[in-house]
């Protein structure tokens, strides 16, 4: 019954439409006022907002001419005529988006080469004009399409193509909805890293390739960040800033027609803002005793610590567990995939040696050697700053330090006086936390006892 009603409505609407189209070709219809607002994207594509609400997306290199708008009866008998924007497609591709409505409130008539035409009434429609072929696709929402004046309905989910001036159409279905799975749905981005995840996509026989759509989730809705082409069953997503994203996929056939987007998959990129003095080394964050790491992009996640199976709402900041190292684990609520962030005390160990062990001034040259290690006993890099201090008795002494990697060396100048003296060397990290110390008693020329520690 529904099909009969639609067929009856179409039979009433088409004569009116054909007459209007013929009048348009003859230039007999009056022009209606209309305007288009354009925006050019970084990839060279252009978006045009038409009066009435229709949006045109022109691919790079596409050429169109805006014609005079007309009125067409596109709804059921007795409905108000629809103001239809006329677009002449010279070459390239144009995607048309119109908010669906039972009675079309606006429409777009596409005039293509070789006397091929189509009317987009709602949803997402596509028109492509190549050198010898014109293709129309009703991706979401039906259309009207014709060669010459042979107008026929083009239902949603179908593609109709015309080769050259041959009026015989070639039809096939719009590519189906693919399956999508993210191998790593939660990523950790620290210290300038650019984490990546592979996306497994497939399940559409008509697909020549797939496109991955990455959407940033915001308070006002999803915003498209990028589309990534996946030539095979696996695509790669990388280079995202910390935040909450969703990913969908669509199949693209050999003519460039794509189908509907797949179900959205969650993707998180978690970053961290380190407090002063913290640093990221060997896969962990090194923190001062009271330091807190601010998590970025973790809103709505669950957190657990160590090997605990109990998860709670993820905190906005995280620090050491009573001054000791801890392991933070993050996941989407109830999910199995998780990411781990290790936190360790920012411990700098300085092994200090003053020698020779039995020294007498002024006869002996006294030297200091400092070796620097991290909390795991690994030699620190030469960009880790330390503050060594030398005192003879209680007076600070300036010395010239030489550094190579994690090794610092210096000679202590001989002081005036008769002695004995006590030499002390103390090393702190750049924030003043103690790292190591040593001292040595040095005999003078008339001192009868040997130097000692």
Q: What is the Cα–Cα distance from 138 to 156, expressed in whole angstroms?
A: 5
At 351 the three-state DSSP class reads strand
185 or 32, greater pLDDT: 185
Token pair for 217: 């989730």
* pLDDT tens track for 15-36: 445 444 544 444 433 444 444 5
Vertex 167: Cα angle to 65 and 114 (nearest 5): 25
At 183 the three-state DSSP class reads coil
The alpha carbon of residue 102 and the mean position of all alpha carbons in its chain are separated, in whole angstroms, by 37
Its pTM stands at 0.70
pLDDT of residue 30: 40
Q: What is the Cα–Cα distance from 398 to 198, expressed in whole angstroms?
A: 57
Residue owning tokens 């050259």: 164
Q: Which domains does the chain have, with CATH numbers?
A: 2-173 (2.60.120.1440), 179-269 (2.60.40.10), 274-345 (no CATH), 349-442 (2.60.40.10)
* pLDDT tens track for 218-272: 888 899 999 999 988 999 999 999 999 999 999 999 888 999 999 999 999 999 9
pLDDT of residue 401: 96
pLDDT of residue 307: 92
* Max avg pLDDT among 44-48, 50-54, 423-427: 423-427
pLDDT of residue 211: 96
Q: What is the Cα–Cα distance from 363 to 355, expressed in whole angstroms?
A: 13
CA distances to 50, 80, 107, 292 from 101, in Å: 17, 13, 11, 53
Arithmetic mean of pLDDT over the chain: 87
Q: What is the Cα–Cα distance from 366 to 40, expressed in whole angstroms?
A: 73
432 or 235, greater pLDDT: 235
Q: What is the Cα–Cα distance from 388 to 264, expressed in whole angstroms?
A: 56
The alpha carbon of residue 243 and the mean position of all alpha carbons in its chain are separated, in whole angstroms, by 8
pLDDT at 7 over 50: no
Residue owning tokens 């009271």: 290
* pLDDT tens track for 262-278: 999 999 999 999 998 88
The mean pLDDT of 422-440, rounded to a whole number, is 91
* pLDDT tens track for 114-138: 999 999 999 999 999 998 899 999 9
Residues 415/361, Cβ–Cβ less than 8 Å:
yes
The beta-strand segments (E) located in 70-183 are 70-72, 82-98, 107-111, 116-120, 123-129, 133-140, 143-147, 150-154, 158-163, 170-173, 179-182
pLDDT at 10 over 70: no
Q: What is the Cα–Cα distance from 293 to 273, expressed in whole angstroms?
A: 6
Q: What is the Cα–Cα distance from 318 to 292, expressed in whole angstroms?
A: 5
Q: Which of 129, 142, 122, 68 is CA-nearest to residue 94?
A: 129
Q: Which of 236-250, 280-294, 298-312 is least confident?
A: 280-294
pLDDT of residue 292: 93
CA distances to 56, 117, 359, 378 from 347, in Å: 60, 73, 32, 11
pLDDT of residue 324: 86
Residues 208/253, Cβ–Cβ less than 8 Å:
yes
């Amino acid at each position: 019954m529904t099909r009969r009603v639609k067929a009856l409505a179409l039979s009433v609407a088409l004569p009116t439409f054909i007459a209007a189209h013929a009048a348009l070709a003859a230039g007999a219809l009056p022009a209606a006022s209309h305007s288009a607002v354009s925006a050019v994207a970084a990839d060279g594509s252009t978006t045009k907002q038409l009066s009435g609400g229709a949006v045109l997306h022109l691919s790079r290199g596409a050429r169109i001419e805006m014609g005079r708008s007309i009125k067409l009866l596109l709804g059921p008998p007795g409905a108000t005529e629809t103001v239809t924007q006329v677009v002449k497609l010279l070459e390239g591709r144009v995607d048309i988006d119109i908010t669906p409505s039972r009675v079309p409130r606006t429409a777009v008539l596409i005039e293509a080469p070789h006397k091929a035409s189509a009317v987009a009434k709602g949803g997402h429609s596509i028109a492509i004009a190549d050198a010898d072929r014109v293709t129309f696709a009703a991706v979401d929402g039906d259309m009207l399409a014709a060669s010459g004046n042979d107008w026929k309905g083009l239902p949603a989910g179908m593609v109709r193509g015309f080769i050259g001036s041959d009026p015989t159409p070639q039809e096939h279905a719009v590519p189906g909805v693919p399956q999508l799975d993210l191998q790593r749905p939660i990523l950790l981005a620290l210290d300038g890293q650019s984490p990546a995840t592979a996306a497994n996509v497939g399940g559409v026989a008509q697909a020549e390739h797939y496109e991955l759509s990455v959407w940033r989730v915001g308070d006002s809705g999803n915003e498209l960040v990028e589309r990534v082409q996946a030539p095979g069953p696996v695509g790669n997503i990388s280079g995202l800033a910390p935040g909450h994203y969703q990913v969908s996929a669509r199949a693209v056939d050999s003519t460039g027609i794509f189908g509907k987007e797949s179900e959205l998959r969650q993707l998180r990129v978690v970053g961290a803002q380190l407090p002063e003095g913290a640093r990221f080394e060997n896969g962990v964050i090194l923190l001062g005793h009271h330091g807190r790491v601010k998590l970025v992009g973790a809103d709505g996640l669950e957190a657990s610590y160590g090997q605990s199976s109990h998860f709670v709402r993820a905190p906005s900041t995280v620090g050491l567990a009573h001054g000791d190292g801890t392991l933070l684990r993050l996941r989407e609520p109830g999910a199995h995939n998780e990411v781990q962030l290790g936190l360790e005390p920012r411990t700098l160990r300085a092994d200090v040696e003053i020698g020779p062990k039995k020294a007498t001034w002024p006869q002996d040259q006294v030297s200091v050697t400092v070796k620097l290690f991290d909390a795991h006993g690994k030699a620190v890099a030469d960009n880790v700053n330390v503050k060594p201090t030398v005192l003879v008795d209680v007076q600070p002494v300036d010395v010239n330090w030489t550094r190579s990697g994690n090794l610092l060396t210096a000679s202590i100048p001989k002081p005036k006086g008769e002695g004995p003296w006590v030499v002390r060397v103390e090393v702190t990290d750049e924030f003043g936390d103690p790292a190591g110390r040593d001292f040595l008693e040095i005999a003078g020329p008339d001192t009868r006892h040997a130097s000692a520690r």
